[in-house]
Amino acid sequence: MSGVAAHYGRVRGVLDQITAALESMGLDPATGVDPAVLAPADEFHLGGHEATMALTASLGIDTDSSVLDVGCGVGGPAREMARTYGCHVTGIDLAREFVYAAEGLSLMTGLESLTTFEVGDVTVLDRGDRAFDAATMLHVGMNVPDKPLLFEAVAAALRPGGRFGVYDIMRTGDGELGYPQPFAADESDSHLAAPDDYVSALESAGMEIIHIIDRSELVGRVVKRAAEGPATPLNLGLVMGREFPTMFANLRTALQGGVVGPIEIVAEKR
């Protein structure tokens, strides 16, 4: 197992843990769960649900769209897109445990016919005869050293005119990061890059940049609201284990120091 897969595969029984948390909240997963309830545990990126909606608003997704979500995690963004736009989403992720949980959570929320999840490495996508109408990638590029290779793989899976929404933690300043981070146990699996590096890799993969937006304000608002709100048994500790608070504290320090920032880039395949 690669270091990245091991980092994200540290919790065994993710689906069981989320199920137990739902039951402790008085919900019965067997009779169906509102997908919005899952957001604190299944949207594994800064700004959660709000950031997903912000990213996907300009991708031209509708009920006829087939969307690829690279590095889908336990499938929160895929389910939110399916629920909001009525599209079909294919999620691909390295972590087998996450893919298993993603399938279970889609069944629980009645979104199994609009979402498909596969175990795979997004830098070696098996394109088959698929040409997706849009693609998304939320908080994944930090684990991928070769971004030109990654974006070439995504571009090859998109139809001409299809849009690609990237939302990553990018390097925005000098300085060291403390580890573990939510995206890497140590420096060896951390491949942060600056927005300019993303832009040149996207352009060299045949994509045109539509916009670049710093989502710091959105993230600050969502993090403040979560900190002020009641604690919920549903949280990313269920997905990443007991060290998650330390990981998040290290990320928060880097964000506050301007070393990294949550950056959205939307590009279109020529």
Q: Which residues of the chain form contacts with ligand SAM (CB under 6 A)? A: 4, 8, 43-45, 71-73, 76-77, 92-95, 98, 121-123, 138-140, 143-144, 183
CB of 189 to ligand SAM, least distance (A): 9
CB of 174 to ligand SAM, least distance (A): 24
**Burial state string for 150-160 with b = 16 or more CB within 10 A and e = fewer than 16:** bbbbbbebbee
Is 8 or 198 the residue whose CB approaches ligand SAM more closely? Answer: 8
CB of 55 to ligand SAM, least distance (A): 10
CB of 143 to ligand SAM, least distance (A): 4
Instruction: Say how far apart CA 183 and CA 8 lie, in whole Å.
Output: 8
Is 137 or 267 the residue whose CB approaches ligand SAM more closely? Answer: 137
CB of 136 to ligand SAM, least distance (A): 8
- Spatial contact of 154 and 207, defined as CB atoms under 8 Å apart: no
- Please name which of 257, 259, 238, 237 lies closest in space to residue 247, comparing C-alpha atoms: 237
Instruction: Say how far apart CA 57 and CA 108 lie, in whole Å.
Output: 26
Is 139 or 160 the residue whose CB approaches ligand SAM more closely? Answer: 139
CB of 9 to ligand SAM, least distance (A): 8
CA distances to 58, 60, 112, 226, 262 from 217, in Å: 19, 24, 33, 14, 9
Is 138 or 265 the residue whose CB approaches ligand SAM more closely? Answer: 138
Residue in the shown chain whose Cβ atom is closest to ligand SAM: 73
Is 22 or 137 the residue whose CB approaches ligand SAM more closely? Answer: 137
- Please name which of 6, 16, 40 lies closest in space to residue 232, comparing C-alpha atoms: 40
- Please name which of 22, 3, 1, 5 lies closest in space to residue 238, comparing C-alpha atoms: 22
Q: Which two tokens stand for residue 5?
A: 């897969």
Instruction: Say how far apart CA 245 and CA 120 lie, in whole Å.
Output: 28
Is 26 or 262 the residue whose CB approaches ligand SAM more closely? Answer: 262
